[in-house]
Structure 1
């Protein structure tokens, strides 16, 4: 059932983004009195699920959820419909319009994607607000997974700078480390600087960057799972301060010791209501005790703010710009062969995993805003067949005063189609490979 909920969220997300993106092209074309022959959600090779013609435009829903399109009369696009181009240009055709109008029509979808992200972020800021964890208040440093330690980190490191710049909030610290070249940390009272090498990021990226760094938290008990081992020995508010007589303070230290004592008896030193007691228990092979820490030492570092309308309108474009910068850096990481990040690129067959197994509107809208920025960035790439490719040649025409012939544009468009097909093969190949590997490893 969970997978269907995730797929439903993905399809809704794609539908929203595709409709708004294509509506940008559609409305701009209509404004400049350009004929739009088709407006489709998803692609419709061979057949469509639904179609209806209203005026000059056929509206429809395709069966292949890889995007959507508007077919504008007199424009050489991915449909490669060149029959129309053999006839003399008509006033309502794209090719008859001035270069500046054609440029606006081509970039309108990207503009709408960015505008949509700003609107969504503004809505999130006004309803659920923004939570930040201030890095300068994380006095206990950070805990790192095994792959995080391969980058050169040690538990307790306090990260001061990434690429010689301080990162004010933890929200952007993990991605800054993945995109950074070097990091400055405070370790055991000493300032240390080391490089973040691309080949050392491979293992982190295999886990899609999740969980390799987290703020260090103390071992205190906030909630206990019913019928768990913890429910027999621990109480809410307990603070664990020793493990088999050895002093511990942080959750990463506790987990490290716990993993060394599978199927073994241990003694925990616990401070309960101001009194120190010892509790003996047997650690199962799973090492799952069944309690959740409160992370009380993060409270001073955590800030929460809900915005009014005016402040949300001011803050939302900043969030969108920050997300665009993240996408640019992510693309740089993907094209670097040393990181092997291209192997982790997800397509439609795995993208549903980005959504919560339970329907979560907050997470849904946050991902939709991010993905809208991602689509805007992708379409800006100067690849023939994408909006950025069309825009590049139009800008060149505006500068030089010379327009490429239809035959030349057809050849360029064909090159773009081959590039896009190659990218699709890479993405789908990654999806299929990862699915096969997950089945084999089960």
Structure 2
């Protein structure tokens, strides 16, 4: 399957799960407090719905591909209409007597009814609004625990990376050198290289690396992460040799007779010890005939071939985790639960800490929409990575929804907390205007983020 379609499918499935659970949180608390839920939909349904389902007279009734709900559906106003729309960008839970994105001002103009959201005590309304966020966070913890139990954890210990790290230009400017092995930040040893490593470096004064058989101290300047964001080149990655994992049919590599597990070591006699050095050398010889040196079963061989116009040979390399010794951690059912909770909390606090960079000039430029989110998924389907990514997106959805912005759950919670403290309920007109302002801000952010995706795709 095409990489774009694979990632798009993963994105749609993941967001569908997250939205379904989020809206179910609102639904469950609404029903708990006897608030009517008029509609519960997966996907949006402008113009028509793929299916509508409602319980009438004790039996489920279905309406397929309908523009409007059948007249019989109006007979059971106390029952929820469940359905599936056709725009796969989320879903919604329409709660009776609540000012939301539907902007149903006619209903709000009618006398207050005991089954409506607005008639309930502030603490019940608060729990209803917080239900989606709570369920998303719980979902993330459940997924992380299940992933740890099913697949465990496997990683290359950062201090044991045999070829060290490769650094971006900004890393070189800070004093790091290719081949350095990261040891510690302010004396606290690193275990693995991930987003938490960067945060630890950003919060430290010095970083210790292993270089040429000795420990070297590197001073960390203020604004470490801001400089990385501004450079848009990352910071570091594991160095690893070029070993073929998979070859594309009809590619230069296939036509030259290369095979999986071949180790590619030089181009035109110039040694390329790492994959990045190999890729750079190929790019510099695109559309030119080159002599490739490689090892197969321990025997050195050479072949002449020509990279394509993009400087590619048409193969997927083995990643460092396939080439270097890894550390495998397995979890029992009981052990996976606290480990999953710890991982989820760490992801949440880390993401919340990183949010401050979104308000910088370069951070704003790095914002992305559906394209950026889709790129988080692997190019080929992997259930473990899919669920890991889904758990992380669930945390992002929970955090973003709790922000005190009108039209988000956090905006409603903010006004409810104001009501609890002051014992004054904001007026319906004020809530309508606040909802419109919030929707405008969210729409502007959506356009901006997806515009960034489009710009990067077209021009970078």
- Output the TM-score relative to the length of structure 1: 0.80
From 217, 232, 236, the counterpart of 1:204: 232
1:90 and 2:113 aligned: yes
Supply the distance in 2 between the matched residues of 1:297 and 1:97 (Cα, whole angstroms): 57
1:409 and 2:447 aligned: no
Supply the distance in 2 between the matched residues of 1:87 and 1:270 (Cα, whole angstroms): 79
The 1:149/1:36 distance shift into structure 2, 3 A limit, reads same
Equivalent residues, number: 425
Give 1:241 deviation, angstroms.
11
Q: Any residues of structure 2 matched to 1:31-50 within 5 Å, and which?
A: 31-50=32-51
- Report if the CA contact (8 A) 1:38-1:70 is conserved: yes
Q: Which position in structure 2 is the counterpart of 1:101?
A: 124
Q: Which position in structure 2 is the counterpart of 1:193?
A: 219
Secondary structure of the equivalent of 1:346?
Answer: coil
Secondary structure of the equivalent of 1:428?
Answer: helix
Supply the distance in 1 between the matched residues of 2:53 and 2:295 (Cα, whole angstroms): 70
Supply the distance in 1 between the matched residues of 2:178 and 2:169 (Cα, whole angstroms): 10
Q: Which position in structure 2 is the counterpart of 1:322?
A: 346
Supply the distance in 1 between the matched residues of 2:178 and 2:32 (Cα, whole angstroms): 59
Give 1:313 deviation, angstroms.
0.9
- Report if the CA contact (8 A) 2:267-2:281 is conserved: no
Secondary structure of the equivalent of 1:354?
Answer: coil
Q: Deviations over 1:247-279 (max 9, x none)?
A: x86666666777778868779798987xxx976
Q: Deviations over 1:323-361 (max 9, x none)?
A: 212322342222211xx2333333235543433343322
The 1:95/1:163 distance shift into structure 2, 3 A limit, reads farther
Q: Deviations over 1:372-431 (max 9, x none)?
A: 111011101111111111111112222222221222222222221111111112123223
Q: Which position in structure 1 is the counterpart of 2:13?
A: 12
From 403, 408, 433, the counterpart of 1:386: 408
- Report if the CA contact (8 A) 2:159-2:181 is conserved: no
Provide the aligned C-alpha RMSD in A. Answer: 3.9
Supply the distance in 1 between the matched residues of 2:144 and 2:405 (Cα, whole angstroms): 29
Q: Any residues of structure 2 matched to 1:419-430 within 5 Å, and which?
A: 419-430=441-452
Secondary structure of the equivalent of 1:69?
Answer: strand
From 155, 159, 165, the counterpart of 1:142: 165
- Report if the CA contact (8 A) 1:130-1:305 is conserved: yes
Q: Which position in structure 2 is the counterpart of 1:67?
A: 90
Structure 1: gaps spanning 5 or more residues: none
Q: Any residues of structure 2 matched to 1:296-315 within 5 Å, and which?
A: 299=324, 302-315=326-339
Secondary structure of the equivalent of 1:432?
Answer: helix
Q: Which position in structure 2 is the counterpart of 1:52?
A: 53
1:334 and 2:358 aligned: yes
- Report if the CA contact (8 A) 1:185-1:191 is conserved: yes
- Output the TM-score relative to the length of structure 2: 0.77
Supply the distance in 2 between the matched residues of 1:165 and 1:84 (Cα, whole angstroms): 59
Structure 2: gaps spanning 5 or more residues: 56-75
Supply the distance in 2 between the matched residues of 1:238 and 1:424 (Cα, whole angstroms): 45
Q: Any residues of structure 2 matched to 1:74-223 within 5 Å, and which?
A: 74-138=97-161, 140-145=163-168, 149=172, 153-161=176-184, 166-172=189-195, 176=199, 184-186=207-209, 187=211, 189=214, 190-195=216-221, 196=224, 198-204=226-232, 209=234, 213-217=236-240, 219=241
